[in-house]
Amino acid sequence: MARIFLPTPLRPYADGAASIDVEAATVAAALEELVARHPQLRKHLYDDRGKVRSFVNFYKNDEDVRYLDKEGTELAETDSLSIVPSIAGGAEDLSNEEIRRYSRHLIMPEVGIDGQRKLKSARVLAIGAGGLGSPLAVYLAAAGIGTIGIVDFDVVDDSNLQRQILYGASDVGRPKLQAAAERIRDINPNVQVVPYETRLDSSNALEIFREYDIVADGTDNFPTRYLVNDACVLTGKPNVYASIFRFEGQASVFWAEKGPCYRCLYTEPPPPGLVPSCAEGGVLGILPGLLGVIQATETIKLALGSGDSLVGRLLLVDALSMRFRELKLRKNPNCVVCGPNPTVTRLIDYEQFCGIPQEAAAARANSSGIPEITVQDLKAMRDRGEDFVLVDVREPHEFAICAFPESVKIPLGTLPQNLNRLSTADEIVVHCKMGGRSAKAVQFLRDAGFRKVRNLAGGIDRWAQQIDPRMPRY
């Protein structure tokens, strides 16, 4: 009968016992017997993979078993086994540099050495290194998350700098992952950055997700959002979610094992085009900062295993009124992916699910139905001084950025009440920023009896790109 001595912090998990006698021939067998009798001890002695925690040491009598036969060390009847966790100091897997760096964490009982080690062993996957991914990655790195995977294949653009704080002016034109990895290494060289310069899709998502404990979704499109949700459900990972638009944001933690998933909340994506993207509708630069930091907070809490996460709650943020509201989310018993009878049991074609091909087909049908002119044609018409009316259907704040001086400015939403400003007798060219809104305007005008009306393909943005490089782009 060997005797196991328990340290004070572990005694509450063993009914207060200071020592326990077990029948066991080796250290490993003695520990198994111990946790079989006191299951609460298991998480203190073993990690999630069933390995003995590296910050718990075991002594056979007065010898550290690491210098004997490790867990295979034999125990005789009269031997004692002492469990010695590192409580004060002696942090085996944090270097002195790390202890100084994280001192503000280490002095809080809610984190401490144990919590900091959990952060160091945590593996977090960030989907996207944009507006949300930037503050997320910065704070996760600063907090000491050991491994941060990032999926992104974009290049840093001027228009990113208004909110994507991972990047500076000198990064414009560089791959985001390259710039992000450099910035993160500068913040905290202890962090391992794993870059995935690829588009996340059904063929690679499960394989990538399996390598991580927590997934943080910072994407800006519906196909990827459903893909991330389903891949998280199928691999059992928590999905730390946030989304943003103009002045409003949402955040939650979707984790099918503990609560609802994204599909429980939104069974189906909105029809393509109904919900504008940030590129079309804009976003207050600070908003992804606010929401990305909420994502980082939830991620760190999950890694520490402490606090109340946003599982089952949808946080709504309105930055204009600075109001935070909270809605209760319920698991949908008929959810197609996390319900008891799922019909989605493997990843599907998310572009198709979100109607993207239909949208493309509709756009093609539109472009064949709606007469267009190119920016080169428009230039030739202007150069020749042809008689035609150029109509700008963008919003007033867009006119202020750039415009054709001679254009008639009628925002799309006000076109019906401004028809009297146009004549069916005139040759008309309609434009907007990219060509989408003006196509709707052309359709509307044709329905209203205008025949000589054409859409400027690619809008004023293409004009700025191909004809007039002095014109600002936005």
Write down the catalytic residue from 232, 261, 335, 432: 432
Cβ distance to Zn ion smaller for residue 215 or 390: 215
Task: Establish whether 338 is a catalytic residue.
Answer: no
Q: List helix spans (H) across 188-221.
A: 205-209
DSSP 121-158: H-EEEEE-SSTTHHHHHHHHHHHT-SEEEEE---B--G
Name every residue whose Cβ is closer than 8 Å to that of residue 246 and which is 6 or more positions away in sequence. 278, 281, 282, 283, 284, 287
Please give the distance of CA 311 from its chain centroid, rounded to a whole number.
Answer: 16
Q: Please say which residue, 2 or 335, places its beta carbon nearer to Zn ion.
A: 335
Cα torsion angle, 15, 19, 23, 29, sign? positive
Query: Of 184, 98, 105, 93, which is closest to residue 141 (Cα–Cα)?
Result: 184
Q: Which is nearer to Zn ion, 167 or 209 (CB)?
A: 209
Residue 347 or 408 with smaller CB distance to Zn ion: 347
Catalytic residue among 278, 338, 354, 402: 278
Contact 83, 7 (CB under 8 A): yes
CB of 233 to Zn ion, least distance (A): 7
Nearest to 380 by CA among 438, 446, 429, 440: 429
> Smallest distance from the beta carbon of 263 to Zn ion, in angstroms?
5
In the complex, minimum distance from the CB of residue 230 to Zn ion, in angstroms, rounded to a whole number:
9
Helix (H, G, I), strand (E, B) or coil at 455: strand
Query: In a 10 Å sphere around its CB, with 0-12 CB exposed, 13-18 middle and 19+ buried, how is residue 348 labelled?
Result: middle
Interatomic CA distance for residues 184 and 453, integer angstroms: 52
Instruction: Considering the complex, state which of residue 314 and residue 319 has its C-beta at the smaller distance from Zn ion.
Output: 314
Question: Of 316, 268, 264, nearest to 294 (Cα)?
Answer: 316
Are the CB atoms for 207 and 231 separated by under 8 Å? Answer: no
Q: What are phi and psi of 181, to 5 degrees?
A: -60, -40
Of 331, 324, 302, residue with least CA distance to 216: 302
Name which of 161 and 311 has its Cβ closer to Zn ion. 311
Name the residue nearer to Zn ion (CB basis): 177 or 251: 251
> In this structure, are residues 421 and 410 in contact, taking their beta carbons and an 8 Å threshold?
yes
Q: Could you give the angle at which helices 459-466 and 375-383 cross, rounded to 10 degrees? A: 70
Binding site for Zn ion (CB under 5 A): 261, 263-264, 335, 338
Coil/strand/helix, residue 19: strand
CB 412 to Zn ion: min, Å: 37
DSSP string, 358-425: HHHHHHHHHHHHS-EE-HHHHHHHHHTT---EEEE-S-HHHHTT---TT-EE--GGGTGGGGGGS-TT
Geometric angle at alpha carbon 228, from 219 and 299, rounded to 5°? 75
278 a catalytic residue: yes
Q: Tell me the C-alpha distance between 297 and 115, whole Å.
A: 14
Cβ proximity to Zn ion: between 66 and 330 the closer is 330
First to last CA, the chain: 77
Token representation of residue 58: 């075991």
Catalytic residues: 278, 432
